[in-house]
Amino acid sequence: MSNRQAEIAASLDVVPPFADEAALIHEIERRKAFIKQCLRNAGLKVLVLGISGGVDSLTAGRLAQLTVEELRSETSDNAYRFIAVRLPHGTQHDEQDAQDSLRFIRADEEDTVNISGSVQGLGEQVTHLQQLSEARRDFVTGNIKARIRMVAQFAIANANNGLVIGTDHAAEAVMGFFTKFGDGACDLAPLSGLVKGQVRAIARHLGAPEHLVMKTPTADLEELRPGKPDEEAHGVTYAEIDAFLHGQPVSEQAYASIVRTYDATRHKRELPLIP
């Protein structure tokens, strides 16, 4: 492991590879305990999470549901509950995967907020968008979608005196692969420190359908490139990112790309600049 690999892994609190199934189960229990403690510390009883159809929200959602079920059992307080929210922009091309995720999660409550009207309305009012090329406007609008989705989740959480869950994990954090103040905004991030393979392993252990566990990850924010794979945007694979974070050898190209992207996206992982 290079000094830079070790430094980056430490900064992201990367969880070492699971030694065996017992280690995986221990990590699941540790994360559920974390969610419980977050609710207790806040004095709140409701969790909210947007479900996209990808393995990250599927895993975080199932952990949230299992946690509130345990809290209800431990406290005899039925006020503990989890709200799973669908946040499509118009018609989502992989809506079936999202519905399959919801069936697996079995949330206490499901809600749907279609963000297309909000995104379009804001876009029409921001005249600076009209000055951009079509490709650049599509990219900026993608970030608007991510931020509107988080506005909706916080609105639902506020209305129910709850907390918003985020789905960021180490393999996305190292690449800065989230929208600042969009999907990067949340009250708690129970997948933090895990690499992509570990998120998949947890999902599989919890019994998630294999087509969702191994689904090609996509942020799906761009209209011109619907379903654009994360790995295409990264320029490296999740297998390479995971290996890098676990201190394993990777190609020179992958190493340079990950380090360069980590440095360039540092601002996304830090608090706002102050004097």
Nearest Cα to 64, choosing from 40, 86, 83?
83
Residue 274 forms part of a structural domain: no
> Is residue 196 marked as binding?
yes
What pTM did the predictor assign?
Answer: 0.94
- Determine how β-strand 109-112 pairs with β-strand 81-86: parallel
> Is residue 127 marked as binding?
no
> Is residue 53 marked as binding?
yes
Q: 246 lies in which domain range? A: 3-269
Catalytic residue among 56, 100, 183, 230: 56
Residue 171 forms part of a structural domain: yes
> Is residue 172 marked as binding?
yes
pLDDT at site 213? 97
263: CATH: 3.40.50.620
pLDDT tens for each residue of 111-130: 999 999 999 999 999 999 98
Helix, strand, coil tally for the chain in percent (to 5): 55, 10, 35
> Is residue 108 marked as binding?
no
Catalytic residue among 27, 97, 100, 172: 172
pLDDT tens for each residue of 140-165: 999 999 999 999 999 999 999 999 99
Confidence of residue 1 (pLDDT cuts 50, 70, 90): confident
Residue 275 forms part of a structural domain: no
Task: Compute the distance between CA of residue 203 and CA of residue 26 in angstroms, rounded to an integer.
Answer: 14
Q: Residues 235, 236, 240, CA angle at the centre, nearest 5°?
A: 170
Residue 227 pLDDT > 90: no
What 8-state DSSP symbol labels residue 25?
A: H
Confidence of residue 225 (pLDDT cuts 50, 70, 90): confident
> Is residue 147 marked as binding?
yes
Residue 185 forms part of a structural domain: yes
Active site (annotated) includes residue 56: yes
Residue 103 forms part of a structural domain: yes
Active site (annotated) includes residue 172: yes
Q: Identify the bridge partners of residue 109 per DSSP, sorted by sequence position.
A: 83
Average pLDDT over residues 195-200: 98
pLDDT at site 224? 76
pLDDT at site 236? 94
Look at the chain and report how many structural domains it folds into.
1
Task: Round the average pLDDT of the chain to a whole number and report it.
Answer: 95
Residue 23 forms part of a structural domain: yes
pLDDT at site 255? 96
- 26-30, 76-80, 138-142: range with lowest mean pLDDT: 138-142
pLDDT at site 33? 98
Average pLDDT over residues 173-195: 96
